Copies of this chain bind each other. A is one copy, B any other.
């Protein structure tokens, strides 16, 4: 692989006014991005945000895509191996769920506990390692973390934690290039992807995935049936469980953290899709359906589910139980096919958990606003509150080219109801493969959706960032406003389009309204007035009549100024 096709400098540079910092909690170096802003008095202060960019933004780290990221997690794994060497509870079953069930708090649990919480160092700790362990034991949360992926910086998926975002990358038979996919990986984590799925279906599936895992600080998911289908030259009828099994062992060995497996699509459900407007739109689902019909046999993934669990528990690969019958249009939302499969995923969830395998559940798709909540309600009921992982959903079908927006609307809603992981949709959805710009546009839309969900759920850590930014906006700290935003580059660029001069960065107005109409400026006048006399005083004055004070205010003038 030639590194020189990827502009590594692009990834080493941090966001404006930001630096990579690590917080040491029990000797775990938890990564954050520290944004330097001014407080109201003008003094510098740092605001910490959750950081998914991995070592790439660490100035101490020399990027080498051939050797991959440092395998820092190996120390934890070795320590655990030694400690539990002769403990039969962990023979071939070394999952986070199995440890959690046995009351053991792993380093991964400690890490995510600190990571979820401490980016507001002044808050009291709400999320403890023990809380993480209990959430994992209950199945309400998972830490996707294959022991063969030591480059991972662990993260947690669960409704009581920050809402996470997944980015899909991967080549297709029409378009293939390993460097390009690796470039998308680095780009995706830079723009906030919490997990990444490699959905390659083209050439060099194995090599592309190897490059991705070795260089990924975030969990990597795959849909193993794609590689299995390549092995039988694209003929679904030629698939078999044996072929599939070889693929998942090979992928588990590489370090894939979660597998999408469409084990809940049973033969008898297929006829319920024939009256749909858009049939089966999941690629994996349609492959399985075709196999089932061709052989008139039950889905081999359903029939061999126990064996799948036995393989996955050895590596701690998590299930992402696939929704092969998810609706592909508004017309098909929440129908019989969809919910028959969901109920089956619930049965499989209990089976996997009993074997110690972590599980999350995939969800739709295309769903109108009024039918979104039912998806969460039924998922929690059928699947015993396993974390929900949804694709959007898109709330209308009529906007190809803008499906990052149609689906961010659905994602924000389903997230606010308790979905833990939101799979992004890019503007290219339904039309073509996303390029880097699309990956970024999809991610920003989904960071917005996830953040809006967190605010709606009352997550203080999310709310604080809004408040810092709005405070900066109100105080005309333009650069702080840009730097606290999800995309500091674009917000500055947009501002500079009309007011490029440096002095405008401290101007007490912008090009929207100009100085006379600036409501924030006028409000500050009002506030100065208020603080001069204090509020209760004004309240009294307003009630009694405060002619004198108004005269003072009028005398103080209507000065509009630009700070020098």
Contact = CB atoms under 8 A, between A and B. Distances in A.
Interface of A: 172-175, 201-202, 226, 229, 234-237, 267-268, 270-271, 273-275, 277-283, 285-287, 289-290, 293-296, 328-331, 366, 368-370, 395-402, 404-406, 408-409, 412-413, 416, 427-428, 430-433, 435, 444-445, 447-449, 451-453, 455-458, 463, 465-467, 469-471, 473-474, 481-482, 484-487, 490-491, 493-495, 497-499, 510-520, 522-527, 529-531, 535, 538-539, 541-543, 545-547, 549-550, 553-554, 558
Contacts of A282: 519
A490 B396 CA distance: 17
Nearest to A49: B398
A396 B512 contact: no
B398 A486 contact: yes
A202 B514 CA distance: 9
User: Looking at A275, A369, A487, A499, which has the most chain B CB atoms within 10 Å of its CB?
Assistant: A369
20 contacts: A172-B517, A173-B517, A234-B558, A236-B522, A271-B530, A277-B467, A280-B522, A281-B520, A289-B523, A293-B553, A296-B550, A329-B474, A368-B456, A370-B457, A395-B455, A396-B455, A398-B451, A398-B484, A400-B469, A432-B512
Given A368-B455, A455-B330, A296 B405 contact: no
Contact of A329 (B328, B432, B467, B499): B467
Given A274-B538, A283-B513, A397-B466, 10 more contacts: A175-B511, A274-B530, A274-B531, A286-B519, A296-B541, A296-B546, A328-B470, A395-B448, A406-B448, A427-B494
A519 B452 contact: no
The 8 closest A-B pairs by CB, nearest first: A279-B523, A296-B550, A234-B516, A173-B514, A329-B470, A286-B519, A369-B456, A286-B522
A509 B275 CA distance: 22
Contacts of A445: 402, 405
A526 B234 contact: no
A294 B432 contact: no
Contacts of A267: 542
Q: How many copies of this chain sit in the oligomeric assembly? A: 2
Contacts of A366: 470
A243 B463 CA distance: 43
Contacts of A469: 397-398, 400
Contacts of A273: 523, 526
A494 B426 CA distance: 11
Nearest to A230: B516
B401 A490 contact: yes
Contacts of A430: 473, 481, 510, 512
A427 to B, nearest CB: 7
A529 B404 CA distance: 34
Contact of A451 (B396, B449, B485): B396
A283 B519 CA distance: 5
User: Looking at A275, A416, A432, A474, which has the most chain B CB atoms within 10 Å of its CB?
Assistant: A432
Given A330-B470, A445-B405, A369 B412 contact: yes
Contact of A491 (B287, B401, B558): B401
Contacts of A444: 399, 402, 405
User: Looking at A237, A293, A524, which has the most chain B CB atoms within 10 Å of its CB?
Assistant: A293
A172 B513 contact: yes
Contacts of A270: 526, 538, 542
A433 B283 contact: no
Contacts of A457: 370
User: Looking at A235, A236, A279, A499, which has the most chain B CB atoms within 10 Å of its CB?
Assistant: A279
Contacts of A283: 513, 517-519
A445 B287 CA distance: 35
A273 B542 CA distance: 13
A428 B369 contact: no
Contact of A296 (B281, B290, B486, B547): B547
B455 A369 contact: yes
Contact of A174 (B432, B449, B466, B514): B514
A342 B54 CA distance: 48
A293 B201 CA distance: 67
A52 to B, nearest CB: 16
